[in-house]
Structure 1
Amino acid sequence: MAGTSGGFDWTRLLLWAVLLGLAGFFLAPLYVMLATSFKSMDEIREGSLLALPHLPTFEAWTKAWSSACTGTDCNGLQPFFWNSVWMVIPAVAVSTVLGAINGYVLTQWKFRGSETLFALMLFGVFMPLQVILLPMSQVLGYLGLASSIWGLTLVHVLCGLPSTTLFFRNYYAALPNELIKAAMLDGAGFWRIFWRIVLPLSTPILVVTLIWQFTQIWNDFLFGVVFSSTDSKPLMVGLNNLANTSSSVKEYNVDMAAAMIAGLPTLFVYIVAGKYFVRGLTAGAVKG
């Protein structure tokens, strides 16, 4: 066998070494953040950046959560975190459900102009977000939702709809038409077919869409800083304010703990459901 000597596969060893080296390089910033967040400021000043904490402490995490200053407010990231939670849950749920219905209609209940409508919706996937800031602010003001969590939720639903529609449309294009036709012959209507047949077959693409939407909305900064007020700012805006708040001593451990708090929800989602992500993305890639 090529690359072997005396029964030992040197090619495989080299491959593993390269992969482990790249993984270590990629994970090094995360390690530095995590290790620094458990150190005291004295240990940070006196020790090495890569050294493990000698006396791990949660003091920086506690301060980042409940008492760190984000501008003139010193209540930590806690209010920003809950603002993001109340925004993300309905935005992800609504945009996913609407995307599923759109994909179902555009593949199984086609009408004249449906392909043109889908092509127009695709513009929303590639459109720069900065383009919609002014018209969206005018719409939110007209609806009375400006500078509110519900206004931010609406923005994310509308901006996420093209992506969710694309995901479900491509997935549903690979479903056998015979299932739908057989259900129609048995007297099933639009909604019954959707809830009883199509949706139970949609688990892979549902997971993909939920992960995608959650990540995009949770990590958003642009909409959060433009369309929110003091009481409705999401977590990423609070993190930015905390990191840029000037004080007599720069507390790197608090900044790192705050960054970890902001990143833990998305990290948890990918750890729990990440294996379904690629599987769902490729499920509808062979047709449509």
Structure 2
Amino acid sequence: MATATMTASTTALEPSGPRPKRLTADRVGLYVFLVIAAAFFLLPMYVMIVTSLKPMSEIRLGNIFSLPEAWTIEPWLQAWNSACTGLNCGGIKVGFWNSIRILVPSVIISIFIGALTGYALSLWRARGSNLLFAVLLLGAFLPYQVFIYPLVRIYSSVGIYGTMAGIVVTHTIFGLPLMTLLFRNYYSSLPIELFKAARVDGGGFWAIFFRLMLPMSTPIIIVAVILQVTGIWNDFLFGVVFAGRENLPMTVQLNNIVNSTQGEKLYNVNMAATILTALVPLVVYFVSGRWFVRGIAAGAVKG
């Protein structure tokens, strides 16, 4: 009797309608769109890669989509070690190490100040904090070109124009509005009871920040690192204006290589140098893309 009852209940729970179609018109259309979009974005990358692996004798034939007949990595070695940027023929590696020296302190300082400012504006709201936050956000939407001449005059007067300190300060200043927005919204989304409990336990401004808020900020710190690394690494304008000749970042060096007017246009070397310049942002996105989504979902756009 029990077995019959179980069989009847199992039969009642089984779906009785028609099976859903695996391929519908909507799904086919979605797949077609995704394939076209992927081809649209990946085709230039394919052309760059195959061109960078061809000798110039094949490139002159004009078959940009064909695979190399004689594969070579010589353009990559030349782009890294001996490509000329003006009178200097040290390759793109000079700009790479300059970009690293610019990137590391700029990312650390801008994220730390942004986290501290967002923490103060969200949990220690003083009189006028909303006005200060509005002023900071205004700086994120004004064109950068508006600030270049005043900053050049200020940096020249204090002696940091054309130095590593000048370019680091510039990236820190212009990264502060976005970093403050991210951390303020993230801290505002946290339960206020945690902050109040820390105050009751005798925690002060710095103790709560370092012992409570920063350990809980891993998701949004990852988002901030991704945004700052890609933004600072891809920067050209600030690098060419504020870095000085001895500290030109990789993007400026790439421009000098590609736009060189000396001798033959080496398209394979130019393509290899372009890919080398884009490697760091690509690696950051591929490695930490899922963490970026998690950080956004954890409160980066709440508030």
Task: Name the TM-score, length of structure 2 as normaliser.
Answer: 0.90
Shift of 1:267: 0.3
Match of 1:244 in 2: 259
Task: Report the alpha carbon displacement of residue 49 of structure 1 after superposing the two structures with TM.
Answer: 0.7
1:179 alignment counterpart: 194
Do 1:83 and 1:149's aligned partners in 2 also have CA atoms closer than 8 Å? no
Quick one: which amino acid aligns to residue 50 of structure 1?
F
**Structure 1 residue 287 displacement after superposition:** 4.1
Task: Decide which moves more: 54-63 or 119-128.
Answer: 54-63
The answer on whether the counterparts of 2:183 and 2:300 sit within 8 Å (CA) in structure 1 is no
Q: Residue 285 of structure 2 aligns with which residue? A: 270
Aligned to 2:203: 188
Does the 8 Å CA contact 1:104/1:172 hold for their aligned counterparts? yes
Match of 2:184? 169
- Cross-structure match for 1:56: 71
Q: Percent identity?
A: 48
Q: Which amino acid aligns with 2:267?
A: Y
Change (3 A) 1:287 1:18: closer
Asked whether the equivalents of residues 81 and 93 of structure 2 are also in contact (C-alpha less than 8 Å), the reply is: yes
Deviation for aligned residue 1:10:
4.2
2:152 corresponds to which residue?
137
Which one of 91, 95, 98 corresponds to residue 80 of structure 1?
A: 95
Q: CA deviation at 1:286?
A: 6.6
Between the aligned partners of 1:222 and 1:46, the Cα distance in structure 2 is 36
User: Structure 2 unaligned runs (5+)?
Assistant: 1-16
How big is each residue's C-alpha offset from its partner over 1:103-123, in whole Å with a ceiling of 9 and x where there is no partner? 100011111111111011111
Question: Residue in 2 aligned with 1:234?
Answer: 249
Is the Cα–Cα contact under 8 Å of residues 182 and 300 in structure 2 kept in the other structure? no
Residue 72 of structure 2 aligns to which amino acid in structure 1? T
For structure 1, list consecutive stretches of 5 or more residues without a partner in the other structure.
none
Q: Distance in 2 between matches of 1:244 and 1:8?
A: 50
1:218 maps to: 233
Deviation at 1:203, TM superposition (A): 1.4
What is the SS of the residue equivalent to 1:242? helix
The aligned counterpart of 1:70 is 85
**1:194: Cα distance to partner?**
1.2
RMSD: 1.9
Shift, 1:44, TM fit: 1.4
Q: Partners of 2:54 and 2:173 in 1: how far apart?
A: 42
Report whether the alignment pairs 1:93 with 2:93.
no
Q: Displacement, 1:14?
A: 2.8
